[in-house]
Structure 1
């Protein structure tokens, strides 16, 4: 029976990842046993293919929705403080770990030494990936590096290991993977560079998580992040994708059908050939599916294109859209619809569609040609690990350690700014004049590098928008109160006719009471107090029913362990605040 369980894993991997003739010419599945499998390189590859199912399928932006970085018609449970202790499920699933550990107990039967090195590295990468996900969600978790026999009560009732111990083991697995994985660039497969990039992420996460909670020993994790990042910066084929087109390169990196391998270290592949697609076009363009929008607080965070701060000007929250988005960091116009926006493959300039966004700031990241606008028809490859993140990880780790220099900034963040033609970040200027707007968002940032750390956080939020980082960043920075800030959108002085694309023609009519007659095709007619709500400052309020949200600092950074798991294992303890 035990053998048949792993035959099922084998079959799922075969169906999902192995479509070429190379994998169809195999012995019948009924003949696959523990004794006959794991003998050849192709066996190891086929088995480890199943691990790729761990990667997110489409919602790479899930972490942004959870944190209110993307505001939709339905706020997340995290935003509403509506999470409950589940009876079962809730992310406490260990099936993949058993598959990984089973592989690691049997792969050495293979007689191909190179294959053993590489695919054991793949397995160790995925064990690190698996445990990193559990660490972020639950904190302390039991560490298992072996398969558990159903009669092994001691293992089944193992208590939780400390997060420091688990992180040490994650780093250990990644170091093994780095030393053994193939040294090559493959956008859809695990390589040495994937392991280095994940180590960069893990070290930064745990190092800052512990630093902002005053836990001793956090420095070693920040050092691990900086070291892994520097190897990728100095000794890898990756760079920032740039053709010199500062007004389009950032956008084009994400709306390309195929992953841009100069920057994308690891991506999730989507293709209509085998009906593997996602819904980002539909998600961002339709009026019937969430209506995602960027919050005004994030729009305010984008610098002017000369590097000055938008929020240094008076009454910055009462500036109409056309002036608000003019002369800003070009990444803003490459992330939301602004004047001059055209769809990929199209020539017609189009204004924001207020019916498709809760805030007025309509998202364009990942959006491609209109022919992919039907639900689950999008085929853009989605990023999992990219070089741009590595540069940000390096700068932040060094800044939090207090060892950063201007040269470090020039070698990291400056590369990201060069792509969009933005001036450099000056360490001396940032620290001598910390941005009060940013400081209000992150009151726990202090010390000699306060101003610089705030600027690095700004850069990270802008560069990595819609890439599933925001929730994790808020958790590790212990900045949960950030998600209780008012959710707001565009400024409108009141009822009237508005030009949103600067062509001199009306795009939107806001009205109260009776709907205007003699309507013109192509103009959006929106009723105040029904279709859209304005607050006392004439800012769009996308969620008027949720303006009194809370965040429990003692509870809400971690998720609860399901009730049934606590019953099955009396040595497990519930996370604080969820008892």
Structure 2
């Protein structure tokens, strides 16, 4: 049985690439448990299979779960339409068995450095595995050993406590940090990757527990701070900047190869081995989801002078060209605004309203037009980057009440420096909290609420389209946020509109029959069918879902599949899913 397992891992690994070294390996028929885990190449080959756990296209489209990206179809989470699956549903433990099997066998050789490093890789992935389960299901049974099929006691084990699981995750990460190679590698796990995961785990759990009144949350926030500070002070990473605030944020994400100055770990995509994705197709075509940024996020981008866009009267009734002018430069580097050109081209393009349900067409990760067809994009996608670490650090410090202006200058304000935005001042924002942000997150209160709200603003903008927002909503216990009205850009009514500010008509909105003698290059959209407007003339991308609900007792977690509850009578279903 174990020989078969090793053969399977070897065969899987060869699918991901091979080299001349394979010609010198022992015949597969001679591989046994005793002679396999003896060389560094064996350990590398086995642990290569763990990388399949890492996310892929959910990095760029996962924000749709919480409505941070709106599409033609709302997610089940947004519609409160999740059901209890019979099987599957994320309750998959195969990777854990592979990891535990490795950790029970990997110390057979005499290459101490390789044993330490690849043991660290396995512990990183066990921590990653359990963090994923914790976020999805809450407390689950914890296993750090392989289970014999006849071990009924283990197979019917009840959940361990939530804090026990988090402590085991952090224990694995601390060992991994100690043992992993200290090098700058963007596609494989290193000490810095483990520090980044520890920063993320500590923040997630600390905030999750704080907003639910669970004692001991401070320990986890401090763990996040410690890991973040180690990366901030003793790593080769920083905030990428070439000194051009109008393009640096955009260019961080639209290069074919990952930018290793800021990205700690990414998912690699290349045509060389036909590993691609479809972000260009996703964001530019009218037949694949039509993703768009929601207006409530557009509203949170500050003006370029640091003042709040939503402080002005009638901020929701400002036409597009004026709305996006003189804003935080990250807005024009995330959605199409006047002056936008495709990478490698000079023609200025208005937003294609046929390719976005909100009118705010996303450009993050988008590269040259030659990659626009389905499954042709090769942009590497970030999994951990230094910008997130700075945001984790700032939020953990703010929630603990220990943030100083120096802390903010060394975190949030470094991100603002990249785009030449004015610095955040703790005194100013705490003396005058943003009422628009306070309305979005009413559970934030206390003397530090202005700072916490500003960090949430910064996090949502900086990490947009990197699949953080659902997890943020969960840990903030802010589920009611996703029941808010879904809106797009402002359309005064039928008529001809210039979306580029160059005096030429780009879009015609009409009622009734389509205009005759249509001009090539102009978009014609019928109100009431192609585009729906709300009562105050904002695009309504989901007119059938204006009344949505979120069950505070149920919807932060996912249901355990029915068959698992039958197989293990000691498992209890998550609250509200009984």
TM-score range, shorter chain: over 0.9
2:360 counterpart residue number: 361
TM-score (norm 1): 0.99
2:59 aligns to what SS in structure 1? coil
Q: Which runs of 5+ in 2 are unaligned?
A: none
2:403 counterpart residue number: 404
2:5 counterpart residue number: 5
2:231 equivalent to 1:206:
no
Alpha-carbon deviations, 1:470-493, whole Å to 9, x = none? 000000000000000000001010
1:27 deviates by: 1.9
2:535 counterpart residue number: 536
Spell out the pairing of 1:461-480 with structure 2 (5 A cutoff). Answer: 461-480=460-479
Q: Which runs of 5+ in 1 are unaligned?
A: none
Question: In the alignment, is the contact (CA less than 8 A) between 2:264 and 2:384 conserved in 1?
Answer: yes
User: Root-mean-square deviation (CA), in Å?
Assistant: 0.7
Spell out the pairing of 1:334-483 with structure 2 (5 A cutoff). Answer: 334-483=333-482
Question: In the alignment, is the contact (CA less than 8 A) between 1:6 and 1:99 conserved in 2?
Answer: no
- Pick closer, same or farther for the CA change 1:65–1:24 going to 2, 3 Å: farther
Spell out the pairing of 1:165-180 with structure 2 (5 A cutoff). Answer: 165-180=164-179
1:354 aligns to what SS in structure 2? coil
2:312 counterpart residue number: 313
1:35 deviates by: 1.3
Spell out the pairing of 1:119-198 with structure 2 (5 A cutoff). Answer: 119-198=118-197
2:238 counterpart residue number: 239
Name the CA distance, whole Å, in 2 between partners of 1:440 and 1:554: 22
Name the CA distance, whole Å, in 1 between partners of 2:329 and 2:106: 49
Name the CA distance, whole Å, in 1 between partners of 2:202 and 2:132: 13
1:448 deviates by: 1.5
1:173 deviates by: 0.4
Provide the aligned length of Structure 1 versus Structure 2: 578
1:509 aligns to what SS in structure 2? strand
1:24 deviates by: 4.4
1:155 aligns to what SS in structure 2? helix
2:536 equivalent to 1:506:
no
1:6 deviates by: 3.2
Alpha-carbon deviations, 1:54-112, whole Å to 9, x = none? 01122213431100000000110000000000000000000000000000000000210
Alpha-carbon deviations, 1:483-522, whole Å to 9, x = none? 0000000101000001111111000000000100010000
Name the CA distance, whole Å, in 1 between partners of 2:446 and 2:556: 24
2:33 equivalent to 1:34:
yes
1:127 deviates by: 0.3
Alpha-carbon deviations, 1:360-382, whole Å to 9, x = none? 00000000000000100000000
1:526 aligns to what SS in structure 2? strand
Question: In the alignment, is the contact (CA less than 8 A) between 2:2 and 2:33 conserved in 1?
Answer: no
Question: In the alignment, is the contact (CA less than 8 A) between 1:500 and 1:507 conserved in 2?
Answer: yes
1:88 aligns to what SS in structure 2? coil
1:574 counterpart residue number: 573
Name the CA distance, whole Å, in 1 between partners of 2:281 and 2:434: 37
Question: In the alignment, is the contact (CA less than 8 A) between 1:63 and 1:472 conserved in 2?
Answer: no
Name the CA distance, whole Å, in 2 between partners of 1:208 and 1:214: 10
Mean alpha-carbon deviation: is it higher for 393-402 or for 1-10? 1-10
Name the CA distance, whole Å, in 1 between partners of 2:142 and 2:22: 34
Name the CA distance, whole Å, in 2 between partners of 1:491 and 1:30: 67
Name the CA distance, whole Å, in 1 between partners of 2:26 and 2:55: 31
1:21 deviates by: 2.1
Name the CA distance, whole Å, in 2 between partners of 1:25 and 1:569: 46
1:447 deviates by: 1.2
Name the CA distance, whole Å, in 1 between partners of 2:552 and 2:60: 24
2:331 counterpart residue number: 332
